[in-house]
Amino acid sequence: MKFLLLLFSSAFAIVAGHASTLTSTAAPITETEAKAIIEERMAEKALREANRKAELESMSVADSRVLQKEGHRVTINLVVPPRLEVAPAPTPSDRQASRTWTEEEWAAMIAAQPEHQSISLSVTVFGDEYSKILWRAPRDEDERRKAPEEFEIWTNVNLNYLRPISSFDRDNIVYSYMGFTSTITREDEAWQRVYAKERGYDYESRWESPPVRFTEGKAEYVVVEAEERRIPRELYEQMDALFTHYLENEDRFKAEFLRNEALSKAREAYLKENPPEPKDVIINHWPISEGGAR
């Protein structure tokens, strides 16, 4: 089995060290603050729903029928068509002057556009110790129907706060990232083993260890190859770009992660204390042409 160990450059290490000085745009919040935010959001939602219900009930009804459902009613109203406002036609002065672009201008505009690349991967984080990445090679139009080629990567960078969908710029390339992160901890695995033993069955741990010993204090990643095949150049380019982006913004990503986690717990607690009840539904409809034809 072949291992290709990649150490980030000293310039990268300097950038990563600077990450701790970045100002987070989503500071962590307390349990009390999260509760207040959720309560405010729920109050705003209730107000929007009440306003919408009042708007629907204010329309002139020509015919109506009610369906009784379990715990709530569905009211279907044939209403008088609302009066629609027609926007005035634009005047010549409103129209922008148009002209035909030359081939040179089109070529210059296209050349000025940044390159776009998609990063597709999945991440498993083992505690706060290391991360395993499955990176999928980009495919061209002829390869779309084939399963993507996957490459296994290990790193001592904790990617727990990597967002599932995002985009970022680096070196005049716009990277669109899509991937999902799962976390496995030693504590969870120990609990699973005890739980399985108490119930009389074996539990196969999901815990894995990296194939190499990483250098302490340095951000590194290793590409694991079990067979002789060419490792795409895009793998190194995309991983270098992604790790640089992640470590530059790790403080912000962590703050956003903890904030969302706190809000999720607050929302769960709110719904437990205030379980939603079935609500009546109003459906208004009207013919779109004279005579009732639809």
Quick: pLDDT tens for 65-118: 999 988 899 999 999 988 877 877 766 665 555 668 888 888 888 878 888 899
Whether the CB-CB separation of 251 and 28 falls below 8 Å is answered with no
Burial class (CB in 10 A: 0-12, 13-18, 19+), 95: exposed
Residue 147: predicted pLDDT: 77
Q: Is the pLDDT of residue 164 over 80?
A: no
Chain-centroid distance of CA 56 in Å reads: 34
| pLDDT tier for residue 291 given thresholds of 50, 70 and 90 | low
Q: What share of the chain is helix, strand, coil (3-state, %, to 5)?
A: 35, 25, 35
| pLDDT tier for residue 285 given thresholds of 50, 70 and 90 | very high
Q: Is the pLDDT of residue 142 over 80?
A: no
Q: Which residue has the higher pLDDT, 99 or 148?
A: 148
Residue 48: predicted pLDDT: 96
Average confidence (pLDDT) over 8-20: 33
Q: Is residue 174 part of a domain?
A: yes
Reduce the DSSP state of residue 105 to 3 states and report it: helix
Residue 158: predicted pLDDT: 93
Percent residues over pLDDT 90 in the chain: 57
Closest CA to 265 of 273, 277, 253: 273
Average confidence (pLDDT) over 208-217: 92
Closest CA to 247 of 26, 13, 23: 13
Between CA 30 and CA 33 the distance in angstroms is 5
Average confidence (pLDDT) over 1-30: 46
Average confidence (pLDDT) over 194-214: 93
Q: Is residue 120 part of a domain?
A: yes
Q: Is residue 186 part of a domain?
A: yes
Range name among 48-52, 147-151, 245-249, 271-275 with the lowest pLDDT average: 147-151
| pLDDT tier for residue 24 given thresholds of 50, 70 and 90 | very low
pTM: 0.71
Q: Is residue 252 part of a domain?
A: yes
| pLDDT tier for residue 12 given thresholds of 50, 70 and 90 | very low
Q: Is residue 101 part of a domain?
A: no
Q: Is residue 123 part of a domain?
A: yes
Q: Is residue 87 part of a domain?
A: no
- Number of domains within the chain: 1
Q: Is residue 22 part of a domain?
A: yes
Between CA 293 and CA 81 the distance in angstroms is 13
Sheet strand arrangement including 72-79: 61-69, 72-79, 281-285
Boundaries of domain holding 10:
2-81+115-285
Q: Is the pLDDT of residue 255 over 50?
A: yes
Reduce the DSSP state of residue 168 to 3 states and report it: strand
Residue with tokens 């569905």: 74
Average pLDDT, the chain: 84
